[in-house]
């Protein structure tokens, strides 16, 4: 593979990883606060539909992203509210919501299927985008892609280098001890569940307005929520490790495009489906590696 191919490959991976990365970071924040939100897969679809429809009707990408963030925040807040105040099983509530939001997205979005609508365009960073290799890899993307990259460092810094991040982790690890120190665990968990949901909603908007513009059934984002949940767990609830997993997952479908050209005799559907079992296989390897290191 030539040097220019490597450059394009890495740039493509960074771009394709934006939605799954945002969803992974959002769920990392939510679970770090002690809330498990299994509604990600449906939330991403409902947010993607909402973003596209609002952006289409209002002719505003900004309003589309805002609508998607609100949808994501509301769904996550429902999960947290039922779990915290109504004492319902968070896993069960999240699973029901992911099915409901998925079906709702397909039902409401049906009239807008396959319609042309607004989409984000690359915004090269002045001066930096002209740098050899690094300019094309990091500084010639759309705004959502830039935002996803920045959020990796912001999330890690906030969690591990700020007082508020310490409060977040303390509530997630031991709510009783946090309460004894004057912190209201319920309020903190509700707040961070909503914040994490906002990022999940933006992940949906990134799908329909950036990575795979438009809305349809299937949308192409199906299954990404479950992958994000897996990346959170196998990343050890650490934003940096989870981000590495997100980029690794994005590498698989990008590479499948190359494999289709290298091995034309294999049906294209095989390469389209392959990233998911491959990702599961890699996650299993990571799991056992972590387990062995823990035992040692």
| Spatial contact of 40 and 27, defined as CB atoms under 8 Å apart | yes
Mean pLDDT of 34-59: 95
| 262: pLDDT strictly greater than 90 | no
Tokens 């590479």 belong to: 255
Average pLDDT over residues 18-35: 95
Structure tokens given for 89: 């099983």
Count of positions (residues) in the chain:
296
Peptide bond into 218 cis (omega under 30): yes
Whether the model clears a pTM of 0.85, i.e. scores above it, the answer is: yes
Residue 264 corresponds to which tokens in the numbers above? Answer: 């034309």
**CA quadruple 272, 250, 21, 48: dihedral sign:** negative
Alpha-carbon span 56 to 79, nearest angstrom: 29
Q: What is the pLDDT of residue 269?
A: 61
- Could you read off the pLDDT of 205-249 as tens digits, one per residue? 999 999 888 898 877 788 889 889 988 987 889 999 999 989 988
Write the Ramachandran bin of 184: left for phi over 0, alpha for psi from -120 to 50, otherwise beta.
Answer: beta
Cβ pair 215, 112 in contact under 8 A = yes
pLDDT tens-digit series, residues 100-159:
999 999 999 999 988 888 999 999 999 999 898 899 899 999 999 999 999 999 999 999
């Amino acid at each position: 593979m030539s040097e220019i191919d490597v450059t394009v490959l890495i740039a493509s991976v960074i771009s394709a990883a934006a939605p799954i990365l945002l969803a992974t970071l959002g769920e990392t924040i939510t679970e770090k606060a002690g809330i498990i939100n299994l509604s990600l897969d449906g939330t991403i679809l409902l947010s993607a539909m909402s973003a596209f429809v609002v952006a289409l009707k209002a002719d505003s990408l900004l309003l589309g992203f805002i609508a998607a963030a609100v949808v994501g925040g509301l769904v996550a807040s429902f999960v947290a509210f039922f779990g915290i105040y109504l004492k319902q099983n968070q896993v069960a509530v999240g699973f029901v919501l992911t099915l409901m939001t998925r079906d709702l997205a397909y039902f409401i979005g049906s009239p807008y299927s396959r319609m042309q609508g607004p989409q984000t365009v690359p915004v090269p960073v002045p001066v930096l985008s002209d740098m050899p290799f690094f300019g094309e890899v990091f500084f010639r993307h759309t705004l959502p892609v830039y935002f996803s990259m920045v959020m990796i460092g912001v999330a890690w810094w906030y969690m591990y280098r700020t007082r508020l991040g310490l409060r977040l982790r303390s509530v997630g690890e031991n709510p009783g001890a946090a309460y004894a120190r004057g912190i209201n665990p319920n309020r903190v968990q509700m707040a961070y569940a909503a914040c994490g949901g906002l990022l999940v909603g933006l992940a949906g908007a990134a799908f329909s307005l950036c990575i795979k513009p438009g809305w349809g059934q299937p949308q192409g984002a199906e299954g990404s929520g479950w992958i994000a949940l897996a990346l959170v767990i196998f990343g050890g609830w650490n934003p940096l490790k989870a981000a590495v997993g997100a980029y690794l997952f994005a590498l698989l479908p990008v590479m499948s495009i190359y494999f289709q050209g290298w091995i034309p005799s294999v049906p294209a559907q095989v390469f389209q489906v392959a990233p998911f079992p491959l990702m599961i296989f890699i996650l299993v390897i990571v799991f056992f590696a972590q387990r062995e290191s823990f035992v040692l």
